[in-house]
Amino acid sequence: MTPRLAGLILALLVLIAPAARAAPVDTGHLKAELIAQTQAIAPGQTIQVALRQQIDKGWHTYWRNPGDSGEATKIAWTLPPGWSAGDFVWQPPEPQPAGPLVSYGYSGEVILPMTLTAPADAPVGQPVTLRAAAAFLVCEEICIPEDALLELTLPVQAQAAQPSGRWAGPIARALEAAPRRADLAAVFENSDQGLRLAITGAVLAGANLAGSYFFPFDGAVIDHAAPQSIDRGPQGLTLGLTASYAFQMPEPPQIMAGVLKAGDAYYEIEAQAGPLPAEAAGLGPPATRGGGLSAAGLGLPLAMVFAVLGGLILNLMPCVFPILAMKAASLAGHAHEAKAARGQGLAFLAGVLATFLTLAGVLIIAQAAGAAVGWGFQLQSPPVVAALALLMLAVALNLSGVFEIGTSLQGVGSGLAGRGGLAGAFFVGVLAVVVAAPCTAPFMAPALGWALTQNAASSLLVFAALGLGFAAPFVAVSFAPGLLARLPRPGPWMDHLRKVLAFPMYGAAAWLLWVLTLQAGPMAMARLLAAAIVLALAAWLFGLSQVRSGRLALRGGAAVLAILAVVAVLFPAYQGAALPGGESSGAVAELPYEPYSAERLAELRAQGAPVFVNFTAAWCVTCQVNEQVALARQGVAESLASTGAVYLKGDWTRKDDVIAAELARHGRAGVPLYLVYDTRGSEPVILPQILTEGLVVRALEAAAG
Amino acid sequence: MTPPSFSRRPVLAGIAAAAAMIAAPALAAPAIGKPAPAFTAVDSTGKSRALSEFKGKTVVLEWTNDGCPYVQKHYKTDAMQELQKSAAADGVVWLSIISSAPGKQGYKTAAEANTWKTDTGAAPAAILLDPKGEVGRAYAAKTTPHMYIVNPAGTLVYMGGIDDKNSADPATLQGAKNYVVAALADMKAGRAVAQPVSAPYGCSVKY
């Protein structure tokens, strides 16, 4: 027989011979089947087979350590004599929270590979059917034990089978994804400072360690539900764990084995009891890690979605209300001129986008230059705040009718449609963004926090998305003739509306004056008030020039006064006001607190006290609202007293690199940021940006344990 | 300025969901050798029961949920009932505690709890109703069953699983090491409890 003929016969045989066969079994809440990496097996050969589970949505099965509750998936083979199967190669588990408990398991599809070895005397040519009983605990909210009797039929052939067929790839990937043994040294110590696990090794040096987590094999060594703190070191990391039952045994554990999730990699480790190595700690937690709507792991698409949502919500925030007022006035003016309204909408959008992108550019450049800046940074500068206050005043005076912008006094209904009107809408867009900065809306913070840790292009995209969301309602209204037609026809009511809307603008000016006072002290306030009066006089003179003769003289006088006012607030050397403790952020019924410092926080945590940290700023309206509606309430004060929690306040009203760095560490680019540290040394819980009294009280009570 | 509610209402609903997720507290575990956490709860006869009323007696706390397959393993085989009866015969106070929240698996009204007791022939000294999960949280009860033993001085001497076989299969009762039986025997003989803790197993407590 020529080799070629032999090859042909072999090929035919392969075609005729039955391939590996198995049938999935539906156990009720999952489908289970045995799969093989090869289509056959040879005597003496070891191949990879696997138990494949397709778990119903919302249900899960368990890892080898099921965590707080549950039971690991089991398999019992019934094999012909001489055949043997290995243990599962467990896939990295996912934590499955349920109320106050956390289990470790799988959802969706999971493939658990294991080896299968044929005896050397397995008869060639006869297919072999291998049986196994698999037992699952499948849980949603409730748990159901389910069983499956599974079969796998494999042809036995003379030559070793190579991986092929539908399951070769998935099994190879599952083996690849399984935790691997790397050259890692692991040590744990259970002391007054809690249970700490230090892991060192070349693969960890300089690795991204955000989201690192230890999954123990033994279900009694750690509290699975307690958050794990991460401290990086030059050669590895130290995890802060919460010791569980096993450490109350007369002889506590000497070995703690399990899976370390380090960044996106999984390693199998076996830690020995002993003193912790210094090179596994000291560099603090990894950057960008937070709870809840965390910045870490937020991809570009999701960050942009959050940014659009954040921009939309920004329209509702109190600091934007005066701008809403202006928008409404301007839109009312064009209610019955669809084309003009569209032009206004687009000009507004352009103004918003241009300003957001400019701000993003400045932020990116400043960060590249090493400055610790974040969202709202422009309001940390007293001259900017003072100038904005004057601008608000000027806009308010304009709305009040003290002077007009544009050509005439012919009435707001008709005069704004020309080129000047477009420029005006663009300017409104610019102004809206500048003033919106202090309002970090929900959804916006994670997006911005993410954006500012990415490359410039991603940052700019996220900021552009924010601008789109922010401008969307106004643009939508300006493009919907149906909506416009519902607005009443122009008439005297528009003048009344305009004058009413002036008052929120006065309010905004007053608020900025208050911010400046906190930033730069009473002298600055006096100067700004004087400048405001001079500016008001200038505005009145300008208005007079629009209705009287002798225009040039009046206008000249107005211009000189206006310039004087602006110069008076822009160029003095602002000294930092000595912010006295109780005044810095001005809540009415202020809680007793200590100023934030990293040292004080570390000291309190070492003492085991729960700590509530509030990063705030006077110019942050969200922060101020939270102070009033949640933090100033009796319940919070009582809860602080009863839990013994210490309240630390970090004031970011003025530029502060330490606070900026701390914000960045939690994936934030601006205030507010509320952290609750518990007594067990865990990672802090990040509270939402909109607080309620009950929410703070619950978080404090949880932290106190 | 603008009233606070202006900004809060539209977003509160979304925030509440996120907050519940973020602020789910971990349970603080009680400690062996320390006083067992005090509690007061209403039993299925409507009586208010406190741990302190059993001072001077050994008390077994059993977290239970009749819908849980792991609990059923011990009740359908009468294993738990027999253990309760033999404990009672030794003067041990057995308290079965239901911490399932209303609407969740295992939740029982007083009447339902009494029916369940009659139907299963369960023999605890009392069934405590803890629908708010207060007793459960005080003990960091994670599973059903989850067992605790308090000695006559009020000190916690055992906490953990009922036995060493994490399975809902009744066949696993054969050859299982029952930690509660072992601990009660140690106490009866005046010895220290040899195995004071073990990993609890079963369904999660449905707080």
pLDDT classification of A267: cutoffs 50, 70, 90: very high
pLDDT surpassing 90 at residue A321: no
The structure tokens 């102004």 sit at: A431
Q: Please give the single-letter amino acid code of residue A687.
A: L
Residues A93 and A236 in one domain: no
| Domain annotation covers residue B148 | yes
* B22/A248 CB distance under 8 A: no
pLDDT surpassing 50 at residue B60: yes
Q: What is the pLDDT of residues A216-266, one digit of tens each?
A: 999 999 989 888 888 888 888 999 998 988 898 888 899 999 999 987 889
Is residue A241 within 8 A of residue A214, CB to CB? The reply is yes
Which of the two residues, A469 and A624, has the higher pLDDT score?
A469
> Any bridge partners for residue A260, and if so which?
A214, A267
Residues of A in contact with B169 (CB under 8 A): 135, 145
Per-residue confidence (pLDDT) for residue A412, from 0 to 100: 40
pLDDT classification of A19: cutoffs 50, 70, 90: low
Give the pair of three-digit tokens for residue A700: 């404090």
Nearest to A442 among B11, B24, B166 (CB): B11
Sheet holding A236-241, edge to edge: A213-216, A255-262, A265-273, A185-191, A194-200, A236-241, A229-233
pLDDT classification of B7: cutoffs 50, 70, 90: very low
Residues of A in contact with B24 (CB under 8 A): 97, 99-100, 702
Is residue B166 within 8 A of residue B131, CB to CB? The reply is no
Residues A389 and A506 in one domain: yes
* Residue A433: CA count within 13 A, CB half-sphere: 27
Q: Strand B59-63 to strand B93-98: parallel, antiparallel, or no bridges (unpaired)?
A: parallel
Q: Which of A570, A597, A614 is the last residue of a domain?
A: A570
* B197/A144 CB distance under 8 A: no
Per-residue confidence (pLDDT) for residue A583, from 0 to 100: 38
Q: What is the pLDDT of residues A596-645, one digit of tens each?
A: 888 888 888 888 888 999 998 877 777 877 887 788 888 888 888 888 88
Residues A590 and A560 in one domain: no
Indicate if ipTM > 0.90.
Answer: no
If you average pLDDT over residues A39-68, what whole number do you get? 94
End-to-end CA distance of chain B: 42
* B159/A245 CB distance under 8 A: yes
Nearest to A135 by CA among A81, A188, A84, A72: A72
| Domain annotation covers residue B117 | yes
pLDDT surpassing 90 at residue A297: no
Give the pair of three-digit tokens for residue A609: 């006290």
* A245/B204 CB distance under 8 A: no
Nearest to A628 among B4, B33, B166 (CB): B4
Give the pair of three-digit tokens for residue B49: 């029961």
Determine the residue of chain A that is closest to B22 in CA distance.
A292
Per-residue confidence (pLDDT) for residue A414, from 0 to 100: 38
Residues A548 and A647 in one domain: no
Name every residue whose Cβ is closer than 8 Å to that of residue B7 and which is 6 or more positions away in sequence: A316, A317, A318, A439, A622, A625, A690
A90 is in which domain, residue-wise?
20-148
| Domain annotation covers residue B6 | no
* B22/A292 CB distance under 8 A: yes
Q: Which of A570, A594, A616 is the last residue of a domain?
A: A570
- For residue B173, what are the CA distances in angstroms to A209, A279, B167? 44, 48, 9
Which of the two residues, B80 and A460, has the higher pLDDT score?
B80
Nearest to B26 among A226, A293, A442 (CB): A226
Residues of A in contact with B196 (CB under 8 A): 248-250
* B29/A682 CB distance under 8 A: no
* B204/A690 CB distance under 8 A: no
If you average pLDDT over residues B166-170, what whole number do you get? 90
Q: Strand A194-200 to strand A185-191: parallel, antiparallel, or no bridges (unpaired)?
A: antiparallel
In this structure, of A29-33, A116-120, A319-323, A422-426, the range with the lowest mean pLDDT score is A319-323
Interface test with B, best of A74, A101, A698 (most B CBs within 10 A): A101
| Domain annotation covers residue A390 | yes
In this structure, of A294-303, A474-483, A668-677, the range with the lowest mean pLDDT score is A294-303
Nearest to A102 by CA among B64, B143, B70, B106: B143
Residues A533 and A668 in one domain: no
| Domain annotation covers residue A580 | no
- The enclosing domain of B41 has a CATH number of 3.40.30.10
pTM of the model: 0.54
Interface test with A, best of B5, B8, B193 (most A CBs within 10 A): B8
Residues A541 and A662 in one domain: no
Residues 167-186 of B with CB under 8 A from A: 167-169
Residues A90 and A46 in one domain: yes
Per-residue confidence (pLDDT) for residue A326, from 0 to 100: 60
B155 is in which domain, residue-wise?
30-204
Number of structural domains found in chain B: 1
* B11/A690 CB distance under 8 A: yes
Residues A541 and A469 in one domain: yes
| Domain annotation covers residue B5 | no
Q: In this complex, how many residue pairs, one in chain A and one in chain B, have their CB atoms less than 8 Å apart? A: 167
* B159/A68 CB distance under 8 A: no
* B6/A705 CB distance under 8 A: no
| Domain annotation covers residue B25 | no
Residues A236 and A343 in one domain: no
Residues of B in contact with A100 (CB under 8 A): 24-27, 137, 207
| Domain annotation covers residue A167 | no
Q: Is B20 on the interface with A (CB under 8 A)?
A: no
The percent of residues above 90 in pLDDT, for chain B, comes to 81
| Domain annotation covers residue A679 | yes
Q: What is the pLDDT of residues B75-114, one digit of tens each?
A: 999 999 999 999 999 999 999 999 999 999 999 999 999 9
* A292/B18 CB distance under 8 A: yes
- The enclosing domain of A245 has a CATH number of 2.60.40
Name every residue whose Cβ is closer than 8 Å to that of residue B201 and which is 6 or more positions away in sequence: A66, A69, A71, A219, B70, B143, B161, B166
pLDDT surpassing 50 at residue A407: no
- The enclosing domain of A109 has a CATH number of 2.60.40.1250
The percent of residues above 70 in pLDDT, for chain B, comes to 86
End-to-end CA distance of chain A: 81
Residues A274 and A311 in one domain: no
* B22/A687 CB distance under 8 A: yes
Residues of B in contact with A60 (CB under 8 A): none
Nearest to A629 among B1, B4, B29 (CB): B4
- The enclosing domain of A651 has a CATH number of 3.40.30.10
* A139/B12 CB distance under 8 A: no
Sheet holding A611-616, edge to edge: A594-595, A646-651, A611-616, A673-677, A685-687
Residues of A in contact with B6 (CB under 8 A): 316, 318, 321
Determine the residue of chain A that is closest to B196 in CA distance.
A249
pLDDT classification of A1: cutoffs 50, 70, 90: very low
pLDDT classification of A14: cutoffs 50, 70, 90: very low
Chain A closest-CA separation from residue B203 CA (Å): 5
| Domain annotation covers residue A9 | no
pLDDT surpassing 90 at residue A288: no
Question: Which ranges of A437-587 would DSSP assign to H, the alpha helix?
Answer: 444-451, 456-479, 481-486, 492-520, 522-547, 551-570
Residues of A in contact with B4 (CB under 8 A): 318, 625, 628-629
As a whole number of angstroms, the distance between CA A99 and CA A491 comes to 59
Residues A412 and A531 in one domain: yes
* B142/A69 CB distance under 8 A: yes
Which of the two residues, B160 and A518, has the higher pLDDT score?
B160
Give the pair of three-digit tokens for residue B98: 């239901």
Residues A230 and A304 in one domain: no
| Strand, helix or coil for residue B39 | coil
Q: Please give the single-letter amino acid code of residue A691.
A: L
| Domain annotation covers residue B22 | no
Q: Is B206 on the interface with A (CB under 8 A)?
A: yes
Number of structural domains found in chain A: 4
Q: What is the pLDDT of residues A159-174, one digit of tens each?
A: 999 998 889 999 999 9
* B143/A686 CB distance under 8 A: no
Residues of B in contact with A248 (CB under 8 A): 31-33, 196-197
| Domain annotation covers residue B89 | yes
Nearest to A145 among B24, B168, B207 (CB): B168
| Domain annotation covers residue A581 | no
Residues 40-99 of B with CB under 8 A from A: 67-70
- Cα angle for residues A645, B20, A671 (degrees, 5° grid): 60
* B203/A245 CB distance under 8 A: no
The percent of residues above 70 in pLDDT, for chain A, comes to 81
Tell me the DSSP string of A147-168: EEEEEEEE-B-SSPPPB-STTH
Per-residue confidence (pLDDT) for residue A120, from 0 to 100: 93
| Domain annotation covers residue A162 | no
Per-residue confidence (pLDDT) for residue A226, from 0 to 100: 85
Give the pair of three-digit tokens for residue A551: 């225009």
Nearest to A100 among B15, B24, B67 (CB): B24
> Any bridge partners for residue B197, and if so which?
B159
Chain A closest-CA separation from residue B166 CA (Å): 7
In this structure, of A12-21, A74-83, A483-492, the range with the lowest mean pLDDT score is A12-21
Q: Which of A248-262, A437-451, B27-41 has the highest mean pLDDT?
A: A248-262
Residues 130-169 of B with CB under 8 A from A: 137, 142-143, 159-160, 166-169
Q: What average pLDDT does the structure give for chain A?
A: 80
Residues of B in contact with A226 (CB under 8 A): 26
Determine the residue of chain B that is closest to A507 in CA distance.
B1
Chain B closest-CA separation from residue A189 CA (Å): 19
| Strand, helix or coil for residue B69 | helix
* A145/B69 CB distance under 8 A: yes
If you average pLDDT over residues A345-354, what whole number do you get? 89
Query: How far is residue B183 CA from its own chain's centroid?
Result: 17
Q: What is the pLDDT of residues A665-694, one digit of tens each?
A: 777 777 888 999 988 777 788 888 778 888
In this structure, of A182-191, A237-246, A248-257, A365-374, the range with the lowest mean pLDDT score is A365-374
